[in-house]
Structure 1
Amino acid sequence: MNHFITAATFSYPHEITILKHLLVKAGLSFYFENETMATVVPLYSHALGGIKLKVHPNDLSTVKDILEQLNTNTHLKIV
């Protein structure tokens, strides 16, 4: 996981719930950095730089496509 890169950053845990499901469904390798801390102490999210979606570089284009589809083709927008 040392070679994983940041694909997107979010402020609050509720923003990643549906995205997490879509990434698992696509079979991608990923993790959310700072997710637990932002859940326990929500105001720390900004101090830590947000919740960072970390993905393998080979999966970056697929993740970007998923993020774009989620933002354009649905009523569930990522803020």
Structure 2
Amino acid sequence: MHEFITVAVFDYPHEIAVLKHLLEQQEIRYFFENETMMNIAPMYSQALGGIRLKVHPDDVETVQEILKKLNNDTNLKIV
């Protein structure tokens, strides 16, 4: 896991719910750093640097496309 790269940072756990589903559909290797801590104590978001989406280097381009499509979709956005 030390070779995984941070692709995006989120402030709250609800922002990653749909993204998790999309990543699992594509069978992308990922994990969200600080996710558990944000579920326990959401006010620590700024102190911990948010929830960081980390992916394997081979999957970076695919994840960036998923994020771009998700942000450009008029019906569904990561806020």
TM-score, normalisation: structure 1: 0.97
Are 2:8 and 1:8 aligned?
A: yes
Deviation of 1:74 after TM superposition, in Å, equals 4.0
Unaligned runs of 5+ in 2: none
Aligned to 2:63: 63
* Identity percentage of aligned residues: 59
RMSD across aligned positions (CA):
0.7
Structure 1 runs (4+) deviating above 4 angstroms are none
* Count of aligned pairs: 79
User: For 2:42, what is the secondary structure of its paired residue?
Assistant: coil
TM-score, reference length from structure 2: 0.97
Give unmatched runs, 5+ long, in structure 1: none
Aligned to 2:39: 39
Write the distance in 2 (CA, Å) between the matches of 1:76 and 1:59. 22
